[in-house]
Amino acid sequence: MSREAPKNASQTWKAIERLKKTVECGACFLVAISFGQGWGFKLDSLPFMSYTNIGKLVVEPPLPPGLVNCSKLKIKMSIQIALTLECIWTQRNRKVFKRPCSSLLLTLKNLDSRFVEHVATMEEECESESFHKHNLILWKPPSQGCVKLNTDAAVKASYSAIAVIARDAYEFIIKAWALCVDTADPVIAEAQAIKWALDLAKLESFPKIIVESDSKMCIDALVDN
């Protein structure tokens, strides 16, 4: 940053020379955001010897002592550095190809807005993922000595296929059955699967059973009756 471009420098070098202010502002943005979290780092102290070093800066951003294992902060810093580098490269291309450039103040303001937007999206996705994990209904094995019969139905144009699978307390599959039935109504097919499961349980002489179905309408009808 402190070197002057030689007189015989290429057009690209001269364009980068004219972008010193933008690069400096981008660097200030990085340090300012970092200091906003109580710490910072000097970009001129980082070993940018190759493109690999720049990629490593994004993937493995420098973190303050005591927070090196903070994955959330690491992701934020990666987003921040990646967006800043993209902004610098975009401004460089505008200079090289002689396209109009925004003011530095507007550029940094847009950069800050993009950073906030990316972080907000990331946090929303994390909250949504956490919500789904907490509300996810998982299959649970039956108690000792009990057999759980799970039923399901797949509806086709003119018929349906129903299936029943029996598992014990150790989640071991005791037996599985499948049958085609003459109906294209999903509720009727699910109801037939439940009835068939009861018939199979009687036929197999299971002493204690639980029948589980994903048809809320059928289960509600059985519970109400």
H, E, C per residue of 164-206: EEEECCCCCEEEEEEEEECCCCHHHHHHHHHHHHHHHHHHHCC
| pTM metric for this prediction | 0.44
Judged on CB neighbours under 10 Å (0-12, 13-18, 19+), 162 is buried
> Distance of CA 124 to CAs 25, 114, 130, 131, 134, Å?
30, 15, 10, 10, 15
Neighbours of 149 (CB within 10 A): 26
Q: Which domains does the chain have, with CATH numbers?
A: 11-135 (no CATH), 147-224 (3.30.420.10)
**pLDDT of 151-190, one tens digit each?**
999 988 889 999 999 999 999 999 999 999 999 999 999 9
Which residue type is seen at 42? K
- Determine contact, residues 27/46, Cβ cutoff 8 Å: no
Predicted pLDDT at 35: 40
Predicted pLDDT at 113: 83
Q: Where are the beta strands (DSSP E) in the chain?
A: 147-155, 160-167, 173-181, 209-212
Distance CA 113, CA 78 (A): 16
**pLDDT of 84-99, one tens digit each?**
888 888 888 887 888 8
- Determine contact, residues 160/187, Cβ cutoff 8 Å: no
10-residue stretch averages of pLDDT, the chain, 225 residues long: 52 54 49 47 63 79 74 84 85 81 77 84 72 66 95 91 95 94 92 96 95 90 82
- Determine contact, residues 34/43, Cβ cutoff 8 Å: no
Predicted pLDDT at 177: 96
